[in-house]
Amino acid sequence: MLILIGWQIQVRQPSDYIMNKTEFYADLNRDFNALMAGETSFLATLANTSALLYERLTDINWAGFYLLEDDTLVLGPFQGKIACVRIPVGRGVCGTAVARQSSAAYRGCSCV
C-alpha cells in the first residue's frame, strides 16, 4: 500500500489497515486530499484517484472512470482488468446507470 504523506511515500502492509470503516475512509479521504493538493490537471486527478482507490480497496479488480461524450461513455483513466472502451448510454450496467442518472455497483461486469 502507498500513502502520500507530504512529499514522501510511506509503504504500508495490508495488515496496517485492520480498522473500522470510519477510520479507513477518513484515512482514504486524507490521502486523497494530500495527493490532489495543488493539482490542476483533470486527467492527472482522475489517474491518481483510480490508482489510490485500486490500491486501497483490496477486494475490487477495477477502479476507474468513464467520460461522457455525446451519447457514449468513453474509457478514461483506470487501474485493473481490461475494460470496454465505449459503452452506449442505455446499454449494460454503466450505460443504464447514466441513462437513469443514478449510480450502480455490480459484481461481474464484462465487455465480452
pLDDT tens readout for residues 40-67: 999 999 999 999 999 998 888 899 999 9
Q: In which domain, by residue range, is 23 found?
A: 2-56
Domain membership flag for residue 27:
yes
39 and 85 in a single domain? The answer is no
Q: Name the pTM for this structure.
A: 0.75
Same domain assignment for residues 14 and 45: yes
Residues 6 and 41 in one domain: yes
| Number of domains making up the chain | 2
Amino acid sitting at position 99: A
Pick the closest to residue 60 from 105, 4, 92 (CA basis): 105
Q: Are residues 47 and 15 part of one domain?
A: yes
Query: Could you tell me if residue 106 is inside a domain?
Result: no
Q: Looking at the domain assignment, is residue 109 inside a domain?
A: no
Is 8 a residue whose pLDDT tops 60? Answer: no
Kindly tell me if the per-residue pLDDT of 10 is higher than 60: no
Name the β-bridge partners of 88.
Answer: 72
- Per the CB < 8 A criterion, the answer to whether 86 and 75 are in contact is yes
- The whole-angstrom separation of Cα 87 and Cα 95 is 6
The secondary structure of residue 10, as a DSSP letter, is E
Q: Tell me the per-residue pLDDT of 93-112, one tens digit each, with 9 for 90 and over.
A: 889 989 999 887 777 676 65
The pLDDT of 25-42, averaged and rounded, is: 93
Provide mean pLDDT across the span 18-44: 89
What's the confidence (pLDDT) of residue 78?
95
Indicate whether 30 pLDDT > 70: yes
- Identify whether 26 is part of a domain: yes
Q: What residues are paired with 2 via a beta bridge? A: 11
**Looking at the domain assignment, is residue 86 inside a domain?**
yes
Last-in-domain residue among 56, 72, 87: 56
pLDDT for residue 2 is more than 60: no
